[in-house]
Amino acid sequence: EIVMTQSPATLSVSPGERATLFCRASQSVSSNLAWYQQKPGQAPRPLIYGASTRATGIPARFSGSGSGTEFTLTISSLQSEDFAVYYCQQYNNWPPFLTFGGGTKVEIK
Amino acid sequence: QLQLQESGPGLVKPSETLSLTCTVSGGSISSSSYYWGWIRQPPGKGLEWIGSMYYSGSTYYNPSLKSRVTISVDTSKTQFSLKLSSVTAADTAVYYCARQRPSYCSGTTCYSYWFDPWGQGTLVTVSS
């Protein structure tokens, strides 16, 4: 099983600042990685797939990078609506397996 | 626009079987380009993939849940369902259904599936 580790667990950022979130895979997943945003009481919302391609309607301030085992989600200038929990998910060996990371909570500093 | 909606009992007794249905609207569940999956989230915790299926009936399950999970599809009703047997309090969670879509296709073969869109989720509590 490929284990996805996200860091930090919590990130405190002021509005307007840059936020950088990390996701590490226990073995290479190529570019088969997605990022999701989840706000309280809501379903996860897809942000990025293929490690760096923004999903439909996602603002340009969200960007993804990386390949292999190391990935980064960057929010260039945090807006109030961006404070949420972010999950990475690998789908390199789909089917039959896929796994989520444990999440990073981005909170207001 | 494709929409998914989970439905089913919000309370299940320990040792019984949890049954949920996901109704798909605005698109076909019979498309060969997609998989259809279930994901859960215990209160205050992260996301856990439960399993997925292809319209043809092929199924794929999380190894940690495989012995208790059954996912099936009813293409005529544009629904797919989840059954989780012998539940305990540890199965209390919000359950989401979602479509798995490919990042790209080459000819008739598609690759690199990610979840989009998701249903709104339904809370299932296991308690006597």
Query: Nearest chain B Cα to A1, which residue?
Result: B63
pLDDT at B107: 87
Tokens 């798909």, located at residue: B24
Tokens 């249903």, located at residue: B119
pLDDT higher than 80, residue B86: yes
B93's tokens: 């969670």
The dihedral built from the CA positions of residue B84, B90, B92 and B94, taken in this order, carries a sign that is negative
Size of interface A-B (CB pairs under 8 A): 62
Put simply, the answer to whether B118 touches A44 (Cβ < 8 Å) is yes
Distance between CA atoms of residues B47 and B39, nearest Å: 7
Distance between CA atoms of residues A6 and B68, nearest Å: 29
- Close Cβ partners of B18 (under 8 Å, ≥ 6 residues apart): B8, B9, B12, B82, B83, B84, B85, B87, B91, B124, B126
Distance between CA atoms of residues B49 and B64, nearest Å: 10
A73, containing H or E segment: strand A70-75
pLDDT higher than 90, residue B104: no
Query: Which chain A residues are Cβ-neighbours of B100 within 8 angstroms?
Result: 94
Put simply, the answer to whether B47 touches A89 (Cβ < 8 Å) is yes
pLDDT at B34: 92
Distance between CA atoms of residues A92 and B81, nearest Å: 25
As a whole number, mean pLDDT of residues B51-78 equals: 91
Which residue spans within B1-128 are E strands per DSSP? 3-7, 11-12, 18-25, 35-41, 48-54, 59-61, 69-74, 79-84, 93-106, 109-118, 122-126
Put simply, the answer to whether A91 touches B118 (Cβ < 8 Å) is no
DSSP A51: T
Is A64 an 8 Å CB contact of chain B?
no
pLDDT in tens, chain A (109 residues): 899 999 999 999 999 999 999 999 999 999 999 999 999 999 999 999 999 999 999 999 999 999 999 999 999 999 999 999 999 999 998 888 999 999 999 999 8
pLDDT at B109: 86
Q: How confident is the model at residue B30 (pLDDT cuts 50, 70, 90)?
A: confident
Check if the beta carbon of residue B5 is closer than 8 Å to that of residue B99: no
